[in-house]
């Protein structure tokens, strides 16, 4: 349903293009991928692939290098003094052969934005669901919890584990977590087991391209979705969130328009952020988020339940893996 570029492999291939005696920064590699926001992800990838490419030729923007890098770079004729590469701009390599895969993912998000419907298609919601994802090593463990809205009692829970390869890059979270969530929610949709409204751990319109994971899930599956996050990815609050009283809301604007809202559930809690994903408007999203809170809630109950369920399922997988590794270790010693 969703074909994704292999960002790890592409990053290694880009670094392999840097010629001897030249350097690149993490930011330049990220630009070659299609977005400078991926610079930190580039660093994480190269830390795992030190022996797959000349990663020592990729340095910080200020020229800082490790002692090991300094030795390797100096052996190639690159001047290093005091732990810094001299004449960084002169030695910088930018002539990458690249298809800029992240730009293609931006195009997907922009296309999703055009297909979003930010109007509710029903007046009565009897059930709400929440979907979240936790990690067990390289596996993503998605959980979906369906609740009755009035009582917030749990009707059903489902989980699904699947390998995750796409790295974490801000504003591209959907492409890391979507494949697992899509697989689980598609299965539940086929079984007619989805709630009237699904809360997603991630943004809807409060996103750099106003099409976060909640919007992408909603459009791809054609289901109503609301995005819920604990931090503000994008947008400007109408006022200082520190002044927000319990049960009070503060709208978040993007390009002058209200795109989401901050809600403070109680006195000793930080605000969380609500944004429409698909087939719902902002006011309905806020109303449903408020109805899904309990007296002790930090987040709407569907999201909190989904988070707890996915985390428990991930811990179970980790436990099984640890026991298996222990048994193999005992076998090797025998």
DSSP H helical segments within 163-300, as ranges?
A: 173-190, 213-221, 282-291
Q: Which domains does the chain have, with CATH numbers?
A: 7-99 (1.10.10.10), 115-317 (3.30.2170.10)
What is the spatial distance between Cα 105 and Cα 109, in angstroms, rounded to a whole number?
Answer: 6
Q: For every one of its 334 residues, what pLDDT tens digit does the chain have, with 9 covering 90 and above?
A: 578 999 999 999 999 999 999 999 999 999 999 999 999 999 999 999 988 999 999 999 999 999 999 999 999 999 999 999 998 999 999 999 999 999 999 999 999 999 999 999 998 999 999 999 999 999 999 999 999 999 999 999 999 999 998 999 988 888 999 999 999 999 999 999 999 999 999 999 999 889 999 999 999 999 999 999 999 989 999 999 999 999 899 999 999 999 999 999 998 899 999 999 999 999 999 999 999 999 888 999 999 999 999 999 999 998 876 666 545 454 565 5
What is the spatial distance between Cα 183 and Cα 131, in angstroms, rounded to a whole number?
Answer: 12
Number of H helices, E strands in the chain: 10, 13
φ/ψ region of 188 (left if φ > 0, alpha if ψ in -120 to 50, else beta) reads alpha
pLDDT for res 326: 43
**CA distances to 183, 189, 218, 297, 313 from 194, in Å:** 13, 6, 12, 23, 20
User: Which residues, in sequence order, are CB contacts of 158 under 8 Å at separation 6+?
Assistant: 143, 144, 184, 187, 188, 193
pLDDT for res 3: 83
What is the spatial distance between Cα 302 and Cα 131, in angstroms, rounded to a whole number?
Answer: 8
CB contact at 8 A, 27 and 89: no
What is the spatial distance between Cα 86 and Cα 73, in angstroms, rounded to a whole number?
Answer: 11
| Radius of gyration of the chain, Cα coordinates, nearest whole angstrom | 23
CB contact at 8 A, 88 and 65: no
3-state secondary structure of 151: coil
- Count of CB atoms within 10 A of residue 79's CB? 12
pLDDT for res 296: 87
pLDDT for res 319: 84
pLDDT for res 324: 60
Q: Measure CA of the first residue to CA of the last residue in the chain; give whole Å.
A: 46
Nearest to 152 by CA among 170, 179, 126, 171: 126
β-strand pairing of 24-25 with 58-59? parallel
């Amino acid at each position: 349903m969703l074909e994704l570029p292999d960002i790890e492999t592409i990053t290694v291939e880009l670094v392999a293009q840097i010629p001897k005696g030249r350097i690149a920064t993490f930011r330049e590699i990220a630009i070659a991928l299609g977005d400078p926001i991926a610079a930190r992800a580039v660093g994480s990838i190269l830390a795992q692939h030190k022996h797959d490419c000349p990663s020592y030729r990729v340095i910080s923007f200020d020229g800082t290098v490790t002692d090991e890098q300094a030795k390797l770079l100096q052996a190639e004729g690159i001047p290093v003094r005091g732990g810094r590469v001299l004449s960084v701009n002169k030695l910088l390599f930018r002539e990458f052969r690249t298809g800029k895969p992240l730009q293609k993912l931006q195009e997907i998000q922009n296309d999703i934005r055009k297909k979003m419907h930010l109007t509710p298609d029903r007046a009565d919601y009897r059930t709400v669901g929440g979907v979240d994802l936790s990690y067990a090593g390289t596996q993503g463990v998605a959980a979906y919890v369906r609740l009755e809205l009035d009582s917030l009692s749990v009707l059903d829970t489902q989980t699904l584990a699947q390998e995750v390869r796409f790295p974490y890059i801000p504003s591209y979270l959907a492409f890391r977590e979507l494949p697992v969530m899509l697989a689980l929610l598609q299965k539940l949709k086929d079984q007619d087991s989805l709630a009237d409204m699904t809360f997603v751990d991630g943004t809807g319109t409060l996103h750099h391209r106003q099409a976060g994971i909640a919007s992408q899930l909603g459009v791809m599956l054609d289901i109503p979705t609301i995005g819920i996050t604990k931090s503000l990815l994008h947008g400007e609050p109408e006022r200082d969130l520190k002044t927000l009283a319990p049960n009070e809301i503060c709208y978040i604007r993007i390009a002058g328009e209200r795109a989401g809202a901050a809600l403070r559930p109680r006195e000793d809690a930080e605000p969380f952020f609500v944004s429409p994903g698909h087939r719902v408007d902002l006011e309905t999203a806020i109303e449903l988020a408020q109805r899904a809170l309990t007296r002790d809630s930090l987040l709407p109950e569907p999201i909190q339940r989904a988070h707890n369920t996915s985390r428990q399922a991930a811990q179970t997988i980790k436990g099984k893996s640890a026991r298996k590794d222990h048994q193999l270790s005992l076998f090797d010693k025998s």
